[in-house]
Amino acid sequence: MNDLVRQHTALTESDLEWLHLLVSEWQLLSDLSFADLVLWVPTRDGTRYVSVAQMRPNTGPTSYQDDMVGHLVPRGRRPLLDAALDEGRIVREGDPEWREEVPVRVESIPVRRDGRVLGVIARNTNLLTVRTPSRLELTYLQSASDLAQMIAAGAFPYPGQQVEMDASPRVGDGLIRLDADGLVQYASPNALSAYHRLGLASDLVGHHLGQVTAELAPSRGPVDEALVKLASGYAPRETEVEGNSGVIQLRAIPLKPKGTRIGSLVLLRDVTELRRRERELITKDATIREIHHRVKNNLQTVAALLRLQARRMDSVGGREALQEAVRRVGSIAIVHETLSQNLDERVEFDEIADRVIAMVAEISPGKVECRRTGRFGVLDAEVATPLSMVLTEVLQNALEHAFPAGERGSVEVSAVRGERRLDESAARLLITVQDDGCGLPEGFDARRTGNLGLQIVRTLVEGELGGSFDMLPVPGPESGTRVVLDIPVRALP
């Protein structure tokens, strides 16, 4: 709609926002009218109309099989549009049109804002299935007529009350029509069933909806006056009411077709099962986070015990082996600590990588500069845990062997998220760890030789992560070593 309005019309950005607000609400008008809606806006030169939005009803058959958005119609071809635009009134005159052997009643509703008519809504009703209307259908049609008059007067939609179409109750979920005093004139079967779920034992018609709702909602203090007013439809609001193990979502829409409130529409939906499932998910999420938190605490305890044992070791080799084990356990603990703070099993690995780099850099404080470039992005937990250990081992190996006798230098960790290859189902994460140290010894083969750390790296990268690992000298005249990790990862934001 933005492109069509800006390309073809002279409407301002504030006018466009009003149309967006209208389109977010007009499913209600379409369902109450049992009709298709098409929004036509005059072009910049005033010689044509352009259709910028369309809505089909959920309560009846459609009048348009094709998409109408983007169509241009010359002025004069549809007299009802001209009359509604020029005279600023709802136009219903004329005989039904025949479209593919289907009779269609056409009406035009001007869309007014601040005294100006921005466009016209064409309301098209399929008359093929017309029959004697029921009480429910009569209530729908009367409510639709009131809303149409409010749109023509610029009183609907309500500014600042844009709702989410998927989350807000719809006409078919349950509808209650109130008079100006808040008394129920009509309640649809779905609406009545929802109130029975709250504990209502009688009918709703003739009762004050606000007082009935407040009595059904549990309260330790006096009657909730705000809930009484909201359920009585005095203002456009949404809320949820819980009682008797049931939960209903309410939305009140005051009806002011001639400027004075004559009553209200209350749309409602039984969301009991939805809220129950949400609570179960919240409980499960909390349990999973607590498990990660406890695993992190246990790992930190193990690391503390290993560190304590290392201090008591007389053997230098044994002490260094225990310190390496402390760092390995610590890298896993970092992942679980991050997972304990998330709602899902995904982590932003850049933060983990920075903490691993800082932890390993303690081996040679102030002598070797460690830095990260690029972005790892969001990774699944099953990738993040082994990858943190791999990164720990590669960095630890570089700091221990690339800079003998406490030499100064630098180690850079770079990460690049690549696109999915045509022959693969996953994207690629390319990680390079490069130092400017003494380089690899003569005849070194990372696939056959290496210490325990490199064996761990090969096992995790190739076996668990399904990637590749290589260790090469830095090309060119400069010395140093480059470790390249190529790992498949699921495409995540």
Residue partners of 160: CB distance under 8 A and separation at least 6:
none
Pairing of strands 368-374, 409-418: parallel
> CA dist 96 to 105, 106, 145, 332, Å?
5, 7, 18, 72
> CA dist 76 to 47, 81, 83, Å?
9, 8, 10
Q: 427-460: per-residue pLDDT in tens?
A: 889 999 999 888 888 777 777 766 777 888 888 8
Q: Do 54 and 121 meet the contact criterion of CB atoms below 8 Å apart? A: no
H helix and E strand count, the chain: 13, 18
Between the CA atoms of 267, 272, 275 and 277, what dihedral angle is there, to the nearest 10 degrees?
-140
End-to-end CA distance of the chain: 27
Report which of 64, 50, 42 is spatially closest to residue 1, judged by C-alpha positions.
Answer: 50
Percent of the chain having pLDDT more than 70?
93
For 76, the 3-state DSSP assignment is: coil
> CA dist 139 to 38, 109, 240, Å?
23, 20, 24
Handedness of CA 88, 94, 98, 103 (dihedral sign): positive
Report which of 45, 51, 46 is spatially closest to residue 19, judged by C-alpha positions.
Answer: 51
Which amino acid, one-letter code, is at 414?
Answer: S
DSSP 108-175: EEEEEETTEEEEEEEEEEE-TT-----HHHHHHHHHHHHHHHHHHHT--SPTT----TTTS--GGG-E
- The reported pLDDT for the residue numbered 89 is 94
DSSP-assigned letter for residue 419: P
Q: Do 78 and 123 meet the contact criterion of CB atoms below 8 Å apart? A: no
How many of the other CB atoms lie within 10 Å of CB of 473? 13
Pairwise CA distance, residues 157 & 23, whole Å:
9
> CA dist 360 to 36, 62, 272, 372, 381, Å?
65, 66, 51, 13, 21
Pairwise CA distance, residues 35 & 127, whole Å:
10
Burial of 342 (0-12, 13-18, 19+ CB in 10 A): middle
Which amino acid, one-letter code, is at 24?
Answer: S
- The reported pLDDT for the residue numbered 72 is 95
- Structural Rg of the chain based on CA atoms: 34
- The reported pLDDT for the residue numbered 422 is 47
- Give phi and psi for 399, each to the nearest 5: -70, -30
> CA dist 162 to 18, 19, 174, Å?
10, 11, 20
Write out the chain's pLDDT in tens, 493 residues. 999 999 999 999 999 999 999 999 999 999 999 999 999 999 999 999 999 999 999 998 888 888 999 999 999 999 999 999 999 999 987 778 887 778 889 999 999 999 999 999 999 999 887 777 899 999 999 999 999 999 999 999 988 766 666 678 999 999 999 999 999 999 999 999 999 999 999 999 999 999 999 888 876 455 567 888 888 888 898 988 988 888 999 999 999 998 899 999 999 999 989 888 888 877 777 777 788 788 888 888 998 898 888 888 888 888 888 888 888 888 888 888 877 877 677 888 898 889 888 888 876 666 788 889 999 888 888 888 888 888 888 888 888 888 876 678 889 999 998 765 545 556 889 999 999 888 888 777 777 766 777 888 888 888 888 899 888 888 777 788 899 999 988 755 4
- Give phi and psi for 348, each to the nearest 5: -80, 105
Q: Do 94 and 65 meet the contact criterion of CB atoms below 8 Å apart? A: no
Q: Do 31 and 56 meet the contact criterion of CB atoms below 8 Å apart? A: no
Handedness of CA 16, 18, 23, 26 (dihedral sign): negative
**Tokens at 213, concatenated:** 């709702």
**Tokens at 203, concatenated:** 């009918």
**Tokens at 341, concatenated:** 């703070």
Strands in 244-386 per DSSP E? 246-255, 263-270, 346-348, 368-374, 378-380
- The reported pLDDT for the residue numbered 148 is 96
